[in-house]
Amino acid sequence: MKNQQINSTASERITSVDFFRGLTMFLLIGESTGMFHYIGKIDTGFTRFLGTQLTHHEWHGLYFWDLIQPFFMFIVGVAIPFAVANRLKKGATNKSLYLHALKRSALLFFLGLALYTSGEDRIVLRLQNVLAQLSVTYLVAFLIMRWKWFYQLALSLFLLLVADLAYRYFPVAGFNQPWEPFQNLGSWVNNWLENTDKASIWASLNAVSTTAHTIWGVLCGKILMESKPAAEKIKLLVIAGVAALVVGFGLDLLSITPIIKKIATSSFVLASGGWSMLALALSYWMIDIKKWAAGTRAFIVVGMNCIFIYMVFEVGGARILSEIYKPFISALFGRGGEIFTGMLISSAVWFSLWYVTYWMYQRKIFIKI
């Protein structure tokens, strides 16, 4: 994609993109407050189901919450073409664009690493949170965004194939069971990076295969920027989403490659990528086409400072607020029981963290990297 092509497309923000990003981060805030834990403890069939869907699957399978990180990595990719077009419109050069991408990637890597290193007496090499993963996926997606769409798609599928084959044929004894927890290539890499015998079950190596999410996001962002009719854009998103779902779940159902989020198998990346595309298509249709935008601002304000608020609750902001609210809410509503009180505390924390983003939005304070 040439500069002229980027410049000729509309660099205006698409509301559904901001909404998608904000809703995803809003849900992550909710998880940090402990709200979903209490929902799962309510003894009704629906709440138990909802509580289950708002947790990660233990290993082989897919719950709704397993889609949240892919959603975020995907929507970051969707926003890249818009951000580049906006910078070019303001006179940015190719050199400045590349330098910005490199600096952003480095900062994401540092922040992601800092979340694990904080409180330790050494640097902890874990690349498992969304910021550390994005430092890789964002940079790759940016560097190839000028390629023709076919080559970008081909590279994303190649990365999935390489990761899949690496897991299948890794020869080290004890780590040559590709789809077994703690006995696979991802665990071996974790142990090596973290210098331990049994590191986290979440694989740092996931950054390789989940790069596909951000690449696909870029491709979808380009579709939204094109001048073609909205119906055609939605059609392309839906076709791509359904195709990814069919292949992803097909690989799992045929016992070729199981859907496992914790090691980001190719079937998981395809299935979650498919849901991401369909969710974007639905958001675009509802908000930008049908103009059903009531209430979307509540989520957009979160998306405008998503990295900032993510760092706030990840470094303990939610826990600190919970400790502040707990004695007061417990004194007033403690007779309602543990679940009721816990949900009130979680609600207060959730609202407070949301309000920080709203306050910043009102004052046009946007912390970007």
Angle at 312 between CA 67 and CA 192, to 5 degrees: 65
Instruction: Annotate 212-231 with DSSP letters as a single string.
Output: HHHHHHHHHHHHHHSSS-HH
Q: Which of 306, 307, 107, 140 is nearest to 214 (CA)?
A: 140
The set of residues, in sequence order, having a beta carbon less than 8 Å from that of 304 and lying 6+ positions away, is 18, 22, 357, 360, 361, 366
Q: What is the mean pLDDT of residues 150-177?
A: 96
**What pLDDT is attached to residue 4?**
37
Looking at every residue in the chain, the average pLDDT score rounds to 92
pLDDT band at 294 (very low <50, low <70, confident <90, very high): confident
Q: What is the mean pLDDT of residues 305-319?
A: 92
**What pLDDT is attached to residue 118?**
72
Q: What is the mean pLDDT of residues 311-323?
A: 93
Higher pLDDT, 116 or 63: 63
d(CA 1, CA 202): 35
**What pLDDT is attached to residue 74?**
98
**Number of C-beta neighbours around residue 75 at 10 A:** 30
**Does the pLDDT at position 8 exceed 80?**
no
**What pLDDT is attached to residue 81?**
95
Tell me the pLDDT tens digit for each residue of 129-148.
899 999 999 999 999 999 99
Q: What is the mean pLDDT of residues 271-287?
A: 97
Kindly give the interhelix angle for 68-89 and 211-225, rounded to the nearest 10 degrees.
50
User: What dihedral do alpha carbons 18, 23, 24, 25 form, nearest 10°?
Assistant: 90
**Percentage, residues of the chain above pLDDT 70:** 96
**What pLDDT is attached to residue 119?**
67
Angle at 203 between CA 98 and CA 211, to 5 degrees: 30
**Does the pLDDT at position 12 exceed 70?**
no
**What pLDDT is attached to residue 128?**
86
Q: Does residue 255 come out as left (phi exceeding 0), alpha (psi in the -120 to 50 range) or beta?
A: left
d(CA 233, CA 140): 25
pLDDT band at 3 (very low <50, low <70, confident <90, very high): very low
Tell me the pLDDT tens digit for each residue of 216-272.
999 999 999 998 999 999 999 999 999 999 999 999 999 999 999 999 999 999 999
DSSP letter for 14, please: P
d(CA 364, CA 223): 29
**What pLDDT is attached to residue 60?**
97
Q: Both tokens of residue 301?
A: 């304000």
**What pLDDT is attached to residue 170?**
95
Tell me the pLDDT tens digit for each residue of 65-121.
999 999 999 999 999 999 999 999 999 999 999 999 999 999 999 999 888 887 677
d(CA 23, CA 124): 30
**Does the pLDDT at position 215 exceed 80?**
yes
**Does the pLDDT at position 2 exceed 80?**
no
**What pLDDT is attached to residue 282?**
97
Q: What is the mean pLDDT of residues 150-160?
A: 98
Tell me the pLDDT tens digit for each residue of 21-45.
999 999 999 999 999 999 999 988 8
**What pLDDT is attached to residue 11?**
52
Q: What is the mean pLDDT of residues 348-366?
A: 96
From the number of C-beta atoms within 10 Å of its C-beta (0-12, 13-18, 19+), residue 249 rates as middle
pLDDT band at 127 (very low <50, low <70, confident <90, very high): confident
Q: Which of 160, 324, 192, 172 is nearest to 257 (CA)?
A: 160
**What pLDDT is attached to residue 7?**
43
**What pLDDT is attached to residue 266?**
97
